[in-house]
Amino acid sequence: MANISGKYCIVGIGETAVGKRPDATTNSLHLEAIKACLDDAAIKNSQVDGLLTNQPLNDSHRSYAVKLAHMAGIDPLFATDLALGGATPIAMVQLAVMAIDVGMATTIVCVHARKRSTADPTPGHPIRRGDEHWEEPWGHFAAAGGHAFAASRHMYEFGTKSEDLAEIAISTRKHASLNKNATMRKPITLEDHQNSRMIVAPLRLLDCSLESDGGGAVLVTSAERARDFPKKPVAILGMGQHHPHFSLLDAPTLTTLGGKKSSEMAYKMSGLGPKDMNFAQIYDCFTITSLITLEDYGFCKKGEGKDFVKNGRITIGGQLPLNTHGGLLSQAHLEGQLHITEAVKQLRGNAVEPERQVANAQVGIVSGHGGSLAMHATLILGAL
């Protein structure tokens, strides 16, 4: 296997304002994120030769990467849209590395945006995940339900409690309170978590992520070209994926997910391990998702996540700051695109509010997770 570790970099990032964006459309949010990213990298659209994006949940956006490239004045030598749910933003970066490595493009923008908080006036019809008709007749409708199944099983196997999941919600909210571009900034307590209404037992409202409007983008190029860009480049050190099932009906287990094999591959590629990570931006569509991923990534043994997340370990200043931007739980839910941009900012070293900066951040790990706990992708990023 040719090792690409350290040969490719993220040289630009863009984030839109997030939360409720009634002013915006799916198209405008994608373009806003691209513009912010190219401005950050101080590069013109004519100098970008590849574009990767998510498949929006609307059938008017078919072949969206090509449409979007031309809306953005980009003439792509490489373009496609990816549909791996919350693993999509990381998978885009991975595919960009591969495309550049084989010489199909040199400078690729990876952009993800969505409109889930306020109505999207874009014409067309929504598309669905698939297989819902084997769930909905029995009243199973929501992502909260799928993840509640995992939480329920984790509690049964390992004695994890709702109060343990609360640690993740509380710490993540604390980080959001320090982030000017976060939706939910008022700190919460264990009592707030335990008093929040039950959504799908055992998950409460404060175990659930937000529904958001917004977008983000990153620009990927080779380490050689990265020197020509003004901002400090961040190197891609390791990558992995694993998709161990598609639906709840064929999941071999719900307490170990794709993160195990995905992270093993990324660790191997980077020559690094869990102990080398200065922070972790771990997908948090629900608190249980982060808890299981921390275990799958080897930060603690399987079943010990409930103890790992306690005593400030996952808060900035602790051993492994988790979701330093506020995550999907409290910043915004853009399927993890902002987990990547936040990791880049932490590794640049001077790009976030000072109280939110992880001291001496050199290496961090980022996870993506999609579908019915089905898809998983991992990135390990490092300061150059």
Partner 1 sequence: MSKDERGRATRRGEPYLDEPEAKPFWAACREHKLTAQRCSSCKKIFGFPPQAFCPHCLAREHEWVTLSGKGTVYSQIAYHRSWHPAYQDKIPYNVSLVDLQEGGRLVTNVIGCAPEEVIIGMPVEVVFEDFPDYTLPKFRPVK
User: Does 254 help bind partner 1 (rule: CB under 8 A)?
Assistant: yes
User: Does 7 help bind partner 1 (rule: CB under 8 A)?
Assistant: no
Whose tokens are 């976030």? That residue is 352
What is the token pair recorded at 217? 């983008």
Min separation Cβ 153 and partner 1, Å: 4
Q: Which is nearer to partner 1, 2 or 119 (CB)?
A: 119
- For 178, 243, 327, 351, the CA distances from 170, given in Å and listed in that order, are 13, 29, 12, 24
Alpha-carbon torsion (116, 212, 16, 235), positive or negative: negative
Question: Considering only residues 63, 134, 187, 311, which one is a binding residue for partner 1 as defined by CB under 8 A?
Answer: 134
User: Does 57 help bind partner 1 (rule: CB under 8 A)?
Assistant: yes
Q: Which is nearer to partner 1, 106 or 183 (CB)?
A: 183
Please tell me the distance from the alpha carbon of residue 66 to that of residue 75, in angstroms, as a whole number.
9
SS3 call for 378: strand
Question: Considering only residues 28, 45, 118, 362, which one is a binding residue for partner 1 as defined by CB under 8 A?
Answer: 118
User: Does 143 help bind partner 1 (rule: CB under 8 A)?
Assistant: no
Whose tokens are 């198209």? That residue is 27
User: Does 201 help bind partner 1 (rule: CB under 8 A)?
Assistant: yes
Please tell me the distance from the alpha carbon of residue 47 to that of residue 305, in angstroms, as a whole number.
45
Element (H, E) at 365: strand 363-370
Q: Which is nearer to partner 1, 6 or 124 (CB)?
A: 124
User: Does 333 help bind partner 1 (rule: CB under 8 A)?
Assistant: no
Instruction: Please give the single-letter amino acid code of residue 246.
Output: F
Q: Which is nearer to partner 1, 140 or 185 (CB)?
A: 140
Which span sits near partner 1 by CB under 8 A: 94-102, 243-251, 276-284, 334-342? 243-251
Which span sits near partner 1 by CB under 8 A: 120-128, 221-229, 350-358, 376-384? 120-128
Min separation Cβ 26 and partner 1, Å: 9
User: Does 141 help bind partner 1 (rule: CB under 8 A)?
Assistant: yes
Min separation Cβ 164 and partner 1, Å: 18
User: Does 268 help bind partner 1 (rule: CB under 8 A)?
Assistant: no
Neighbours of 139 (CB within 10 A): 7
User: Does 35 help bind partner 1 (rule: CB under 8 A)?
Assistant: no
Whose tokens are 């590794």? That residue is 347
Q: Which is nearer to partner 1, 126 or 271 (CB)?
A: 126
Q: Which is nearer to partner 1, 125 or 180 (CB)?
A: 125
φ/ψ of 363, rounded to 5, equals -140, 140
Question: Strand (E) positions, 107-185?
Answer: 107-115
What is the token pair recorded at 154? 């984790």
Please tell me the distance from the alpha carbon of residue 80 to that of residue 53, in angstroms, as a whole number.
7
Please tell me the distance from the alpha carbon of residue 55 to that of residue 52, in angstroms, as a whole number.
10
Residue 359 CB partners (closer than 8 Å, separation 6+): none
User: Does 149 help bind partner 1 (rule: CB under 8 A)?
Assistant: yes
User: Does 249 help bind partner 1 (rule: CB under 8 A)?
Assistant: yes
Question: Considering only residues 125, 180, 186, 275, which one is a binding residue for partner 1 as defined by CB under 8 A?
Answer: 125
- Residues at the interface with partner 1 (CB under 8 A): 57-58, 115-120, 122, 125-128, 131-142, 144-145, 148-150, 152-153, 156, 197-202, 211, 248-250, 254
